[in-house]
Chain A
C-alpha cells in the first residue's frame, strides 16, 4: 500500500513505529472505564510528551519568576528561556525576526489581535473581508465583529461537496475591494488542506492582506512563513503537543510596526506618565502583562520534539492511518464520511444514519475511545452539509492501526445497539 502525503508526494508504506514514541506520552498508558485509552481527539487537543511536561515543570520547580523585570538570577534565567523559546519558534517557522513572533493565549487570541489592531485602523466602510465556508468560529466571529464596527462586508468562499474550497468562486469573489483574506490552512471539521500559498499570491495581486489560521496545520505541515509569503499566521500550542493557553501570532514586521497595541498594561510600554505613554518595541508592544512563561517554554520544547522526529515522517504515518481508517470505515454501510478532499490531513469526520453523534461519542467512551462529537466550532460547515453535527476521529503520530481497529469495532457495536 502506498499513501499520498500531505505534501502530495507518493511515499512507500512507512516503517514508522508509533510505539517508539508512545512511551513518551504518559497519558497514553492510562485506562478509561477499565479499558486502555484510545485517544482519537487530537484535533481538539493533542497530548504532551514527557519532555514538554519536564520543561514546564523545570520552570516551576527551579526558576519560576517573572520575565523582563528583575535583575536577580531566576528572573534572568526565565527571561533567557522565554526569549530562547521565541528564537526557537522563529527559526521553526522561518520568520525573519523574533520581532515577528508574538505570544498570545492561542489561535483565537491571535486572530482577534489582527482583527482589532490591524482591522480597526485599516478597514473602512465598504471594504470586503473574504473568508471561507470552512472556517473555525475563531476565524469568523472576530471578522463579523469588525464588520459590525466598521461597516465592512463579509464575503464567503463556498465549498464543494467533496469538502474543498471552490477556487473558481474564490477568484470571482476576490477583487480590489478585498481588504483581508482569512483562510484556514487545514480544516478541523473536514481535514481539507487548502492551497494557501496560491491563494495568498492571488490575494496579494489585489492588494489584500492575508490571515492564515494555522491551528490544525502545525502538527501536520512544515510551515515556512516566508515561503508562504503570509502576512499573519496564527496557531495554538496545545494542538502541536504543547500546553494549553498559549499560541503565536506571526506577523510581517512592516505591518506589525504600523499597528496600535491591542491591550494595555505592563511589559508593553517603554515609559508611562499620566500625560504620555510610550509603547515598547516589537514584539513586546503586543504582549501586555505577564505572559504564559511555562507554556511558551513548553511550546518550544514541543516543536523541538516534533522536529526531532520530523514533521514529514509524522505526516506520512498520519496519512497511512487516515487511509486505513477511511478504507475500514467505508466498509460499514451505514457510515457516511464528511469531507473527502484530495489533499487531507488526518481528520475523519463521519455520520451514521439514524444515530446522533453524541450517542456515538458516549458508546465509544465506554470503550475507552475518545473522539469529538458536535459541530466542532464550525457550524457553517455543518449547515453546508445539512447535518447538525458529526463524529470526528483525528489521528496523531502516536496512534496505531490497532487503535483504528478498536474504533471500527466500537462503531459496529453502536450500529448493533441502534438497529
Chain B
C-alpha cells in the first residue's frame, strides 16, 4: 500500500522532468529574476522571466539545486507559463497552491491545472509542500518585482 502511495507521488512525469528539466538555463539579460530559498533544506533556485508590454510571459527559465519534487515543479511551471498572460499565471499559481495544500481536489473541483495536477500527492506530505511551491512563489515574486523569497 505504501509502495503505491510512493509511486503515486513519484509518477513518471515528475521523474522525467527531474531528470531532464526543461528551461533549465539562465536568461541573460532577463527583465526580472528572483531567488527562492527553502532554508529548511538549503535548497535554492533562481527564476528568470521576460514579460512583454502585453503582459505575456515571453520566456521563463530556472536554475538551482533541489529535490525531484522541486525540480520537476519548476520545470513544469516554466513550460506552463511560457506564452501565458501574467493574470493567468497568477490564477494558476493560486490553484496550484490550493492543490498542494489540499484545498482543491482535482478529481472533484473544477480547475485549469492540466498536467500540473500530478502534484496532488504532496498534500499528504506537509514537509514537501514547500518543495512543490517554491518555484511558483519565486516566479510570483519575480513578476511582482520582489528579489528574494523564503518559504519560512
Name the B residues within 8 Å of A373 (CB-CB): 41
Name the A residues within 8 Å of B2 (CB-CB): 33-35, 366-367
- Complex CA gap A354/B68 in Å reads 9
B5 to A358, Cβ gap below 8 A?
Answer: no
- Complex CA gap A355/B72 in Å reads 13
A356-B67, A356-B68, A413-B3 known; A389 and B9 CB under 8 Å? no
A388 to B68, Cβ gap below 8 A?
Answer: no
Name the B residues within 8 Å of A354 (CB-CB): 19
B9 to A374, Cβ gap below 8 A?
Answer: no
- Complex CA gap A394/B15 in Å reads 28
Query: Does any Cβ of A come within 8 Å of B25's Cβ?
Result: no
Minimum CB–CB distance for A329 against chain B, Å: 20
A417 to B15, Cβ gap below 8 A?
Answer: yes
- Complex CA gap A285/B9 in Å reads 54
A374-B40, A374-B42, A389-B42 known; A355 and B68 CB under 8 Å? yes
- Complex CA gap A280/B145 in Å reads 55
Cβ < 8 Å to A, chain B residues 105-134: 125, 127-128, 131
Minimum CB–CB distance for B144 against chain A, Å: 27
Query: Does any Cβ of A come within 8 Å of B69's Cβ?
Result: yes
Query: Does any Cβ of B come within 8 Å of A363's Cβ?
Result: yes
- Complex CA gap A417/B42 in Å reads 24
List 18 other contacts, CB 8 Å, given A362-B6, A374-B41, A388-B43.
A33-B5, A354-B19, A356-B71, A357-B67, A358-B67, A358-B128, A359-B68, A362-B9, A362-B127, A362-B128, A363-B6, A363-B10, A366-B2, A374-B42, A389-B41, A389-B42, A413-B6, A418-B10
Query: Does any Cβ of B come within 8 Å of A181's Cβ?
Result: no
Contact of B42 (CB < 8 Å), options: A35, A375, A418: A375
Cβ < 8 Å to B, chain A residues 381-410: 382, 388-389
- Complex CA gap A121/B50 in Å reads 54
Query: Does any Cβ of B come within 8 Å of A379's Cβ?
Result: yes
Contact of A417 (CB < 8 Å), options: B6, B19, B43: B6
Binding site for B on A (CB under 8 A): 33-35, 354-359, 362-363, 366-367, 373-375, 379, 382, 388-389, 413, 417-418
Task: Say which size band chain B's interface belongs to.
Answer: 20 to 34
- Complex CA gap A355/B2 in Å reads 19
Query: Does any Cβ of A come within 8 Å of B7's Cβ?
Result: yes
- Complex CA gap A19/B72 in Å reads 43
Name the B residues within 8 Å of A388 (CB-CB): 42-43, 65
A375 to B41, Cβ gap below 8 A?
Answer: yes
Query: Does any Cβ of A come within 8 Å of B66's Cβ?
Result: yes
Q: List 19 A-B contacts (CB under 8 A).
A: A33-B5, A34-B1, A356-B66, A356-B71, A358-B69, A359-B67, A362-B6, A362-B9, A362-B125, A362-B127, A363-B10, A366-B6, A367-B2, A374-B42, A379-B42, A382-B42, A388-B65, A389-B42, A418-B68
Minimum CB–CB distance for A101 against chain B, Å: 34
- Complex CA gap A35/B40 in Å reads 26
Name the B residues within 8 Å of A362 (CB-CB): 6, 9, 125, 127-128
Name the B residues within 8 Å of A357 (CB-CB): 41, 67
Closest to A358 in B: B67
| Most chain A CB atoms below 10 A, which of B2, B5, B127 | B2
| Most chain B CB atoms below 10 A, which of A355, A357, A366 | A366
Name the B residues within 8 Å of A375 (CB-CB): 41-42
Name the B residues within 8 Å of A367 (CB-CB): 2
- Complex CA gap A350/B65 in Å reads 17
The 6 closest A-B pairs by CB, nearest first: A356-B67, A358-B67, A366-B2, A375-B42, A388-B65, A359-B68
A359 to B69, Cβ gap below 8 A?
Answer: yes
A366-B5, A413-B3 known; A359 and B42 CB under 8 Å? no
B5 to A417, Cβ gap below 8 A?
Answer: no
- Complex CA gap A116/B2 in Å reads 49
- Complex CA gap A90/B67 in Å reads 45
- Complex CA gap A362/B41 in Å reads 13
Closest to B41 in A: A374
Closest to B66 in A: A356
Name the A residues within 8 Å of B71 (CB-CB): 356
Name the A residues within 8 Å of B69 (CB-CB): 358-359
- Complex CA gap A357/B67 in Å reads 7
Contact of B7 (CB < 8 Å), options: A33, A355, A356, A417: A417
Contact of B131 (CB < 8 Å), options: A34, A358, A379, A413: A358
Closest to B2 in A: A366
